[in-house]
Structure 1
């Protein structure tokens, strides 16, 4: 898959999650195709400011890990990722319209402020869901989900590998599994 189509796929994922990043997150979003594994899915994304250096950043919760992305023009790219099993706590504090998120990872605290109040709460809930799961449940899965298989079928049809009839037949079989 080309980097461009992976970026489009990421944008579609965000749209489905009802996440509309601001123009300030554009640089970080453009880095995601190189950061995420091909089959890694975004669960939620927030943007805000790194409390240490006041840079605009994004914090991405995926089905495997938590990723902190800081892409600044003068300072290059900084990416930190954290296994959910290494996160001991995540909390948010709200002010008038904005919130801050504090994540305790082993012996370090990651602090982000300037996050939308609603988004901070939802982000923390999503991360807590993964923190409560055994680590093996969000590592690479041996069998793709029905949705993944449907997406694969769609790509095979688009590229001409499958005819319309073959596509519909395989789609029907997959839908019966649901």
Structure 2
């Protein structure tokens, strides 16, 4: 059995999280194997437009840090990452169809717009969860076990985020990866 590429693993992670990036995020998604550490796991990912540069970007929340990825044809790859303890606040504002997110880091405010309003709210909740954790949490964090991942899938099903069919599909994918 051939070993999956890191990009395929990332795409599988996104699928399990029910994140379906648009074609506009393709360049940034393809850059992620070079951006993420070997065992770093994505918690959530959104895409939008950096209000300052007007570039399409992705924001990636991992269990370790918050990462901004901007891969433009003319400008190359720009990656900025911040530990959660550097984020002082994150907020979103919904309009009719889309939302914007403001992230306060040190003395800077990063403004992202053209984000799907449902995804903006979820992303902010995930980041706030990590912001609330003590600094020690991020040091020497063990990898989640298969049982941890199955329990998480069960919680997603029980809370109505995953249907019974989606749960069974994701459970099968997880168990197939283990064999």
TM-score between both structures, scaled by the size of structure 1? 0.80
* Structure 2 gap ranges (5+): 150-172
The alpha-carbon distance between structure 1 residues 71 and 4, as it changes in their structure 2 partners (threshold 3 A), is farther
Please provide the CA RMSD for this pair. Answer: 2.4
* Structure 1 gap ranges (5+): 158-178
TM-score between both structures, scaled by the size of structure 2? 0.79
Aligned position for 2:145: 146
Matches within 5 A, 1:44-63: 44-63=44-63
The structure 1 segments of at least 4 consecutive aligned residues displaced by more than 3 Å after TM superposition are 148-151, 153-157
Counterparts of 2:35 and 2:66, CA distance in 1: 12
Counterparts of 1:3 and 1:75, CA distance in 2: 32
**Residue 88 of structure 1 pairs with residue 88 of structure 2:** yes
Q: How many residue pairs get matched?
A: 154
Deviation at 1:138, TM superposition (A): 2.4
Aligned position for 1:166: none
**Residue 30 of structure 1 pairs with residue 30 of structure 2:** yes
Matches within 5 A, 1:111-130: 111-130=111-130
Larger Rg: 1
Does the Cα contact within 8 Å between 1:3 and 1:33 map onto a contact in 2?
A: no
